[in-house]
């Protein structure tokens, strides 16, 4: 049957990483993947709205007027590196090294804060200094909401990673904390994927068109 093509027998389960060893962990990881798939559509809809609105500047500032490449590259590099440090955290998780995992998660959170700080600064300068707040044009509505939704996800991710750092410090790596740490890693990488498309479809495209 189709569903067993890639499945493992239960005897293989003991060879699996810790987070897959309980039924609960296994279910939640699949459920979270499905949630991320739904998030693809959520961001897809926001991208669709933004792209439709891209040229509707209503006489206000255009993408080319607003976007500056240096802060955007800084944000991008910080987020890409944070995805890398988060990946190293998952690696330490697999090595059952609690301290290493916590250390990389702390680095990830710090990079997350740096990203949010830069993005907030960018929003602030557009809205206040450049005369380009959300209510100026349809283009800016689409821009702020697409990027704001991503930023809100990153902020929630910071809260979530912090809560998991606390739980890891309290309990060490168990089947449950391993599952949580793995899931938050998936979430963080996913936000990086979304950013890659924001970088391409919003910033680079805005500078080209």
Query: Considering only residues 76-135, where is the footprint of another protein by CB under 8 A?
Result: 76-77, 80-81, 83-84, 86-88, 90-91, 94-95, 134-135
Binding status of residue 70 toward another protein by CB under 8 A: no
- The window from 40-48, 109-117, 118-126 that contacts another protein (CB under 8 A) reads 40-48
Q: How far is Cα of residue 19 from the mean position of the Cα atoms in its chain?
A: 21
39-47, 106-114, 115-123, 124-132 -> range binding another protein (CB under 8 A) = 39-47
Show the site string, 178-197: x = touches another protein by CB under 8 A, - = not.
Answer: --x----xx--xx-xx--xx
Residue 111 sits at φ, ψ, to 5 deg, of -65, -35
- Distance separating alpha carbons of residues 184 and 181, to the nearest angstrom: 5
Looking at residue 135, what DSSP letter applies? T
Residue pair 96/125 in contact by the 8 Å Cβ criterion: no
Closest by CA to 191, choosing from 133, 134, 108, is: 108
Q: Which is nearer to another protein, 56 or 117 (CB)?
A: 56
Q: Does 15 help bind another protein (rule: CB under 8 A)? A: yes
């Amino acid at each position: 049957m189709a569903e067993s093509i890639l499945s493992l027998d239960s005897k293989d389960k003991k060879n699996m990483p810790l987070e897959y060893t309980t039924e609960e962990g296994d279910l939640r990881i699949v459920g979270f993947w499905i949630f991320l798939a739904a998030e693809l559509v959520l961001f897809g809809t926001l991208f669709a709205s933004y792209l439709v609105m891209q040229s509707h500047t209503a006489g206000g500032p255009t993408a080319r007027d607003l976007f500056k490449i240096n802060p955007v590259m800084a944000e991008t590099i910080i987020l890409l590196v944070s995805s890398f440090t988060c990946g190293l955290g998952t690696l330490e998780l697999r090595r059952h090294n609690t301290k290493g995992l916590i250390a990389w998660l702390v680095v990830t959170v710090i990079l997350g804060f740096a990203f949010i700080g830069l993005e907030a600064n960018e929003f602030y300068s557009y809205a206040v200094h450049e005369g380009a707040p959300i209510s100026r044009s349809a283009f800016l509505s689409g821009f702020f909401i697409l990027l704001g939704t991503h930023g809100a996800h990153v902020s929630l991710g910071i809260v979530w990673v912090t809560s998991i750092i606390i739980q890891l410090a309290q309990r060490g790596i168990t089947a449950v904390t391993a599952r949580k740490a793995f899931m938050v890693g998936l979430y963080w990488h996913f936000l990086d994927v979304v950013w890659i498309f924001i970088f391409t479809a919003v910033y680079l495209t805005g500078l080209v068109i």
